[in-house]
Amino acid sequence: MNRRTFLMGTAVAGLVGFPAAAQELSLGDMSRYLNDIQTATAEFTQINADGTISTGQLYIKRPGRIRFEYNPPEQSLVLANGGQVAIFDPRSNNGPERFPLSQTPLSIILARNVDLARSGMVSGRTSDGTTTTIRAQDPDRPDMGNIQLVFTGNPVELRQWVVTDNAGQQTTIILGDLTQGGRVPNSQFNILAEMRKYE
């Protein structure tokens, strides 16, 4: 499986038990919510472009850091830190695949200052009375794909995202309860330390 596509929509809302109806969120509401996240953890379910499903634990430390730990039988690991993304596959003999975080739309929600109202950032927004869904892209790199973010309100919560990469491949991440705050050590995002484990 190409792990790179997971970072890169159609939302699978039927898989998530959303709360009762809430009003449509503004871009300011959603930007403030994302900017307020300093650290967060959540279980996640990933629907891959080929239809397979993976699960695991997600760790976020903004700005710029995220960690995806996959549950057995998978042993993959994905880290973002220092402007780089590293995808560790124990089946590979060539070390982790590495590329700039700026090459994935996930960089939008990991930015130091999220401004969804920036010109050219959001290209679509819908609301069904329960969720507000936006499609965002980096205005400076629209060719790198887009990310579709699904939020609920009262309180505002990010529930899932769908990344579409520059080849049109889509990967959905459905979040469990996103727990904000708490200590998430920097060592969780140390790409070089993880590389040494794979030597």
Q: Are 135 and 9 in contact (CB under 8 A)?
A: yes
pLDDT digits (tens, 9 = 90+) for 35-69: 999 999 999 999 999 999 999 999 999 999 999 99
**Domains by residue range for the chain, with CATH:** 3-10+21-197 (2.50.20.10)
SS3 state at 192:
helix
- Which among 67, 47, 48, 58 is positioned nearest to 2, based on CA atoms? 48
User: What percent of the chain shows pLDDT beyond 70?
Assistant: 88
Q: Are 162 and 172 in contact (CB under 8 A)?
A: yes
Look at residue 129 in the predicted model and tell me its pLDDT.
84
pTM equals 0.85
pLDDT digits (tens, 9 = 90+) for 92-127: 777 789 999 998 899 999 999 999 999 999 999 999
Look at residue 22 in the predicted model and tell me its pLDDT.
53
SS (H, E, C) 89-134: CCCCCCCCEEEEHHHCCCHHHHCCCCCCCCCCCEEEEEECCCEEEE
